[in-house]
Amino acid sequence: MASKTKAAEAKVAILKGKEAEDKVLEYIRKMNRPFGAVDVSANLKGAVPKAATQKIMVALAEKGDLVQKTYGKTTFFVANQANLEDMPAEKLTALEAEVKRIDEENKSLGAEVKSIGADLTKLKSTPTDKELAVEIDKAEAAVHKARGHLEPLRAGTPLISAEETAQLDADWTRWRNEWVRRRKVFSTFWSLATDTLAPQEATELAEDLGIEYDTPEHGVLERGNLCSSGSVLGKRRR
């Protein structure tokens, strides 16, 4: 019983005559866009039935309050723009000022959004606490390993045995003598090969063959104490 009462209260009162006509005209002028009778009746919640709405809108069009347009089998009605009140210059100026103010606010907000976006990107690229903890553990492990390598030096412990030193001396002497021998062989062969060539031609031939001569650094090394007669690597170390 109570639900029937609520349904009766919720039911929209049906408008007729002048009231219905005024309601339809008021709605169309307020929305100021094309409508069909079905849409107007639905938007008014059925306060004016569809059939009555169609008749009212046709009548209003005949009076000049509405403009009627037919597209195929569909008829639309829109408020006659000539009957609408012109906007005062003061109000138009106020609206333009408001539009300008809102536009400036939008620009300001856009710049703020851009700045916040840059901060967000920076934050996303920043390591998290968990990632920092992992990096710290890695750094501490590397420091511990480096300190382990330094301990023998601090304690004065020899880093290489006498046997290893002797082997280095032997290897140094062997390979340096081999280098001197090969350089002598090359010099002899190259002199024979280029004996009939002009210096410029000999240089061009060497470039074509990709021959690399000793650099100035090699010459400095040869003249140094390391390669001096009677000096060996082991003796210099000891």
CB atoms within 10 A of CB 20: 19
CB atoms within 10 A of CB 60: 20
% of the chain at pLDDT higher than 90: 23
What pLDDT does 229 receive?
Answer: 56
Band of the pLDDT at 164, cuts 50, 70, 90? confident
Structure tokens at 79: 């408020």
Q: Which of 12-26, 100-114, 205-219 has the highest mean pLDDT?
A: 100-114
Helix axes 50-63, 17-31, angle to 10 degrees: 70
